[in-house]
Amino acid sequence: MEVIILDNKIDIGLAIAKEIIKDIKNNPKLNLGLATGSSPLPLYKSLIELSKLENISFKDITTFNLDEYCGLSNDNKESYHYFMNENLFKYLDFSKDSHYFPSIDNVNNYDEIINNHGGIDIQILGIGANGHIAFNEPNTPISSVTHITNLANKTILDNSRFFSNIDEVPTQAITMGLSTILKAKKIYLIATGKNKAEAISIMLKGKYIKECPASALNLKKDNVYIYLDKDAASLISK
């Protein structure tokens, strides 16, 4: 695991985008695991800009999203289908039907779909203030595969900023499991802001702690890159 501390979220997004572009040049058919929320937005913006600048094609790239809310239609403005289209997909030359999301219909074979495509080459992650990655809440089994989960009260409260009121926030989601995520060949986790500092400090203790799902990344020794701004890194002990 490598920890990289940069000044701000813009610098983080640009740095990771450059790495992804390098990998796409080496493998134009790679499988890209995607996250939603505010953390990856600067990355997606930089990825769009660099791809156009360097004339990088995404027509042979396949994407797999980490999660999706239960109960929202794909065209709902708070769904992750809508989020990905508005913030990444529509700006690049992805092929039709190249995007996969976990759903009620495929929850039992989403991992199989990923495996049949050769596995995820690059996985983007954020982290919740309670240490969740994707929607794997505290105490999710390390062996978990894609599943339906009840969202923690803390997650519902944190995500309510995207909705008109907290009562509109779905209470369940379909998410890749921890074992699914750990199978990715390369992982980039992004954390910015002081509200993520405590979770980051626990995650970086170097061991798996079930109350902090992100600490499962300690079990994957190589090709895990943690990108932090100074606020998110503020509680890391020297």
Catalytic-role residue among 31, 111, 121, 132: 132
User: Is-catalytic flag, 132?
Assistant: yes
Cα–Cα nearest to 173, from 150, 142, 154: 150
Between vectors from CA 137 to CA 136 and to CA 143, what angle results, nearest 5°? Answer: 50
Q: Would you write out the chain's pLDDT as a tens digit for each of its 238 residues?
A: 999 999 999 999 999 999 999 999 999 999 999 999 999 999 999 999 999 999 999 999 999 999 999 988 899 898 999 999 999 999 999 998 999 999 999 999 999 999 999 999 999 999 999 999 999 999 999 999 999 999 888 888 888 887 888 988 888 999 999 999 999 999 999 999 999 999 999 999 989 999 999 999 999 989 999 999 999 999 997 5
Cα 58–chain centre separation = 19
Alpha helices by DSSP H, listed for the chain, are: 9-26, 41-53, 80-87, 110-116, 153-159, 178-182, 197-203
Read out DSSP for 96-154? TT-EE---TTTTTTHHHHHHHTT--SEEEE---TTS-BTTB-TT--TT--SEEEEPPHH
Q: In 3D, which of 74, 157, 71, 147 has the Cα closest to residue 111?
A: 147
pLDDT value, residue 212? 96
Is 137 annotated as catalytic? yes
* Both tokens assigned to 101: 């999301």
Would you tell me how many other CB atoms lie within 10 Å of the CB of residue 198? 16
> Residue 73 and residue 93: Cα distance in Å, rounded?
24
pLDDT at position 238: 57
Of the listed 137, 158, 159, 229, which one is catalytic? Answer: 137
CA distance 106 to 182: 20
Q: Which of 31, 65, 67, 121 is catalytic?
A: 67
Separation in Å, CA 230 to CA 19, 39, 111, 141, 227: 21, 14, 35, 31, 10
Q: Of the listed 81, 99, 121, 130, which one is catalytic?
A: 130
Is 67 a catalytic site residue?
yes
Instruction: Determine contact, residues 93/63, Cβ cutoff 8 Å.
Output: no
At how many degrees (to 10) do helices 9-26 and 41-53 cross?
Answer: 50
